[in-house]
Structure 1
């Protein structure tokens, strides 16, 4: 199942289909904007086996120059993405697809600190079962309390994410 209706927060159990969906989308993205791409990454909770997640595929795209993101807008629109600009989330071009939303693209200049943190956090959860289970429990609790407030849901996960990133840096 993919798709999160606007204004809702809920989790679904992890699915093998998420990896397949990511790979299909990655191929389509590379077909239309491949000349600007250095790397494409599956990020977020759908990229971590056995982690319940909001049913949205998060994709990080690394580009060489930040302004190249503007050259990707029209081609990505042909795949159904809506460009939301650079002010939604820090230091990235942000796109989303579908209503309900099924995919998000976070487009970063290579070496961006937010990209590196997302990849580090994802990898930590992939290889640390205890942390993955703790994070899943936190997300389940927060999704119950914040069913219609995605910003509060995201903000309330911040301390956990920061603690993992601080632990990685040690």
Structure 2
């Protein structure tokens, strides 16, 4: 199942279908954008086996130069994405797909600290079962208490994420 309606926060158990969906979408993006991009990464909770997640596939696209993101807009629109600009989240081009939203793209210049943090956090959870369990519990609690407030839900995870970033030297 994919798709999170506006104004709702809920989690579903991790499924291998998310890996397949990312792989299919990544192939479409790579075919459409070609040499404009350096890499396509699966990020967010759907990228972490055994972690419940909001049913949205988060994708990070790495660019050689941030301004190349402007040249990717038409190609991603052909794939059904809507360009939201660079003011939604820091230092990235942001795109979303579907209503309810099924995919979102965060497009970064290579070496960007936000991209590094996304990849490092994902990898940390993939390799530390204790942190994974703790994060799972936190997300479950927050999703129950903030079912209609995505912003509060997201902000309430910040302390946990920042502790991991501190451990990794990415503060």
Common topology (TM > 0.5): yes
Deviation at 1:35, TM superposition (A): 1.4
Deviation at 1:142, TM superposition (A): 0.5
Provide the residue aligned with 1:18 in structure 2.
Answer: 18
1:77 lines up with 2:103 in the alignment: no
Aligned counterparts of 1:34 and 1:160: Cα–Cα separation in 2: 36
Provide the residue aligned with 2:60 in structure 1.
Answer: 60
Provide the residue aligned with 1:110 in structure 2.
Answer: 110
1:107 match: secondary structure: strand
TM-score, structure 2 as length reference = 0.98
Provide the residue aligned with 2:160 in structure 1.
Answer: 160
Aligned counterparts of 1:168 and 1:124: Cα–Cα separation in 2: 9
Q: How many residues align?
A: 170
Gaps of 5+ in 2: none
2:79 match: secondary structure: coil
Aligned counterparts of 1:34 and 1:17: Cα–Cα separation in 2: 25
Aligned counterparts of 1:120 and 1:56: Cα–Cα separation in 2: 20
Aligned counterparts of 1:107 and 1:5: Cα–Cα separation in 2: 23
Superposed CA offset, 1:46-81 (max 9, x none)? 000000000000000000010100000011001000
Provide the residue aligned with 1:139 in structure 2.
Answer: 139
Deviation at 1:4, TM superposition (A): 0.3
Provide the residue aligned with 2:32 in structure 1.
Answer: 32
2:66 match: secondary structure: coil
Aligned counterparts of 1:82 and 1:152: Cα–Cα separation in 2: 24
Provide the residue aligned with 1:97 in structure 2.
Answer: 97
- RMSD of the TM alignment (CA)? 0.8
Structure 1 residue ranges, 4+ long, deviating more than 3 angstroms after superposition: none
Gaps of 5+ in 1: none
TM-score, structure 1 as length reference = 0.99
Provide the residue aligned with 1:43 in structure 2.
Answer: 43
Aligned counterparts of 1:72 and 1:10: Cα–Cα separation in 2: 31
